[in-house]
Amino acid sequence: MKIAVVGFGMMGRQIAQVFAQHGNEVAVTDENKQALTTGIDESANGPYGVRAAVAKGKLTQEEGAQTLRAIRTATTIEDACQGANLVIEAVFEDLRLKQGVLRRLEEVAPHDALLASNTSTLGITKIASTLSNKERVLGMHFFNPAQVTKLVEIVKGELTSSSAIQEATKIVQMIGKTPIVARDEPGFVANRLGLTLYMEASRLLEEDIASIRDIDQAMKLGYNHPLGPFETADLVGLDTRLRNLEALYEQTGDEKWVPPKVLREMVNQGYLGDATRRAGSRGGYYTYLGAKPR
């Protein structure tokens, strides 16, 4: 298959690598041309990049080389979308921006190509609302880091066709992931559950019921979660977490999604999450609070 990824930031890079590792031709583009260079380097040398996968025995040397050859940078959306069977929008989580990108994709992508948004919280129906052909638009929500996580949420907008959902399901299975299908409701499934846990963990911390370390330990040892809620937030990115909560609050008006005060303070001060994975970040929860993970 030919895949186009529009937006070569953190998630776009991961998604492109996953498709390339499974034998697909991937064209990537970004309005920030430096992101193309940085993204290719991260796909090769990042913590979940090709060389790390080869070192861990998950890919052979030849498979790693083929993966990197399969990712092509394009300077324009038109070039990236040429001949694509699937176009994935992975730009910044902003409704108007995503709507503008999708309108452009409708103009230049092949008429039979699926148009997918990697949005994590914004409604697919709203994103597609200005398009003429809404039947082929759906959500295809990958999770960070996409090279490792097995889940992909497929989100059905109000006018998404059943055939588009079926095709997307087959594509997700083809790249070794497990799809779930969700109706177009704020937060879909995984983020609605994950953010609920995060908000309750934040209340426990604010009320001084337990330390950040012990809250994380409770979920890791009590429920076998690989990471605690604050460790997960640091991995995902605190600015991303803040935007997700703001989007949910804006869409629902439910005060349970009002972002914690400490989260906003951290982001405003440059604490964007795990500094080893987020360039320019001053650190995450543990750094900000002066706590030590166990």
Given this model, what pLDDT does residue 273 score? 95
Considering 43, 153, 202, 231, which one is annotated as catalytic?
Answer: 153
Closest CA to 43 of 86, 11, 1, 91: 11
Cut 0.85: pTM above it: yes
CA separation for the pair 78, 93 (Å, rounded): 22
Is 120 catalytic? The answer is yes
CATH number of 2-183: 3.40.50.720
What does the DSSP 8-state code read for residue 283? Answer: -
SS3 18: helix
Considering 43, 120, 202, 244, which one is annotated as catalytic?
Answer: 120
Given this model, what pLDDT does residue 291 score? 86
Pairing of strands 151-156, 137-142: antiparallel
CA separation for the pair 238, 263 (Å, rounded): 7
CA separation for the pair 40, 27 (Å, rounded): 11
CATH number of 191-283: 1.10.1040.10
Given this model, what pLDDT does residue 292 score? 76
Query: How many CA atoms are closer than 13 Å to the CA of 221, on its beta-carbon side?
Result: 7
Is 191 catalytic? The answer is yes
Given this model, what pLDDT does residue 98 score? 97
Is 133 catalytic? The answer is no
Given this model, what pLDDT does residue 277 score? 80
Domain(s) of CATH 1.10.1040.10: residues in the chain: 191-283
Considering 118, 144, 191, 244, which one is annotated as catalytic?
Answer: 191
Domain(s) of CATH 3.40.50.720: residues in the chain: 2-183
**Would you mind telling me the total number of residues written for the chain in this entry?**
294
CA separation for the pair 29, 71 (Å, rounded): 11
Is 153 catalytic? The answer is yes
User: Containing H/E element for 73?
Assistant: strand 71-73
Is residue 83 within 8 A of residue 2, CB to CB? The reply is yes
Given this model, what pLDDT does residue 294 score? 61
Is residue 17 within 8 A of residue 148, CB to CB? The reply is no
Considering 43, 141, 202, 244, which one is annotated as catalytic?
Answer: 141
CA separation for the pair 154, 160 (Å, rounded): 11
Measure CA 282 to chain center.
22
Given this model, what pLDDT does residue 256 score? 96
User: Containing H/E element for 151?
Assistant: strand 151-156
Given CA atoms 173, 175, 179, 184 in this order, what sign does their dihedral have?
A: negative
Residue numbers in the chain where pLDDT is lower than 50: none
- Residue in this structure with the two tokens 């594509």, named with its chain if needed: 171
Q: What is the pLDDT of residues 185-244, one digit of tens each?
A: 999 999 999 999 999 999 999 999 999 999 999 999 999 999 999 999 999 999 999 999
Is residue 281 within 8 A of residue 274, CB to CB? The reply is yes
